[in-house]
């Protein structure tokens, strides 16, 4: 299964523990974005992860779901920015690396982040003002 192989290659043998670390980071980042982004910015998550039955995975692919899409998307003043969240020792899967490369080719700034402070640095580097801090 494509999704299971991506999960195993991305998280290694201890997938559950690392997944929870990424979930905790994503929850904290979403809290930051909810309170700190300017009013003319929006964000969302694309829940592509998880294991799916082969038929369901094929159906989702036909509907446009793609492996490797970054975890969070931020739009600020008409421009898209993407954040891929990783546990401290997490590695990008092959599909994530390919998607990030494609997004950057398309002019979409993308950052791989492992902490709230790295998220804040990326957003500020992209010129997105923040009205709060969590780090």
Beta carbons of 25 and 88 less than 8 angstroms apart: no
What residues contact 115, with CB distance under 8 A and at least 6 apart?
25, 135
**pLDDT given at position 132:** 75
Averaged pLDDT for residues 97-106: 98
**pLDDT given at position 65:** 86
Instruction: Give the tokens for residue 30.
Output: 């979403």
Question: DSSP alpha helices (H): ranges in the chain?
Answer: 2-11, 15-36, 54-62, 94-105, 116-125
**pLDDT given at position 51:** 75
pLDDT in tens, 118-131: 999 999 999 999 99
Band (12; pLDDT cuts 50, 70, 90):
very low
Looking up residue 121, the CATH number of its domain turns out to be 3.40.1350.10
Q: Residue 50: which of 31, 77, 23, 84 has the closest Cα?
A: 23
Largest CA distance in the chain: 44
132 within a domain of the structure (yes/no): no
Residue 135 pLDDT more than 60? Answer: no
**pLDDT given at position 1:** 32
Domain residues for the domain of 45 are 2-125
58 within a domain of the structure (yes/no): yes
Q: What is the pTM of this model?
A: 0.80
21 within a domain of the structure (yes/no): yes
Cα three-residue angle 19-61-29, rounded to 5 degrees: 35
pLDDT in tens, 43-94: 999 877 777 788 988 888 898 888 899 999 999 999 999 999 999 999 999 9
Measure the CA–CA gap between 46 and 69, rounded to whole angstroms: 8
Band (17; pLDDT cuts 50, 70, 90):
low
Measure the CA–CA gap between 21 and 85, rounded to whole angstroms: 10
Indicate the pairing of strand 79-85 with strand 72-76.
antiparallel
Q: How many domains does the chain have?
A: 1
35 within a domain of the structure (yes/no): yes
91 within a domain of the structure (yes/no): yes
33 within a domain of the structure (yes/no): yes
130 within a domain of the structure (yes/no): no
């Amino acid at each position: 299964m494509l999704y299971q192989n991506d999960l195993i290659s991305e998280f290694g043998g201890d997938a559950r523990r690392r997944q929870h670390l990424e979930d905790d980071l994503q929850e904290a980042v979403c809290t930051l974005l909810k309170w700190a982004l300017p009013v003319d910015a929006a964000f969302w998550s694309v829940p592509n992860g998880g294991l799916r039955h082969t038929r369901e995975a094929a159906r989702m692919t036909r509907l446009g779901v793609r492996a490797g899409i970054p975890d969070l998307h931020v739009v600020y003043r008409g421009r898209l920015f993407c954040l891929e969240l990783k546990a401290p020792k997490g590695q990008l899967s092959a599909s994530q690396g390919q998607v990030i490369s494609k997004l950057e080719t398309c002019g979409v700034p993308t950052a791989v982040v492992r902490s709230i402070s790295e998220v804040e640095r990326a957003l500020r580097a992209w010129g997105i003002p923040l009205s709060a801090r969590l780090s």
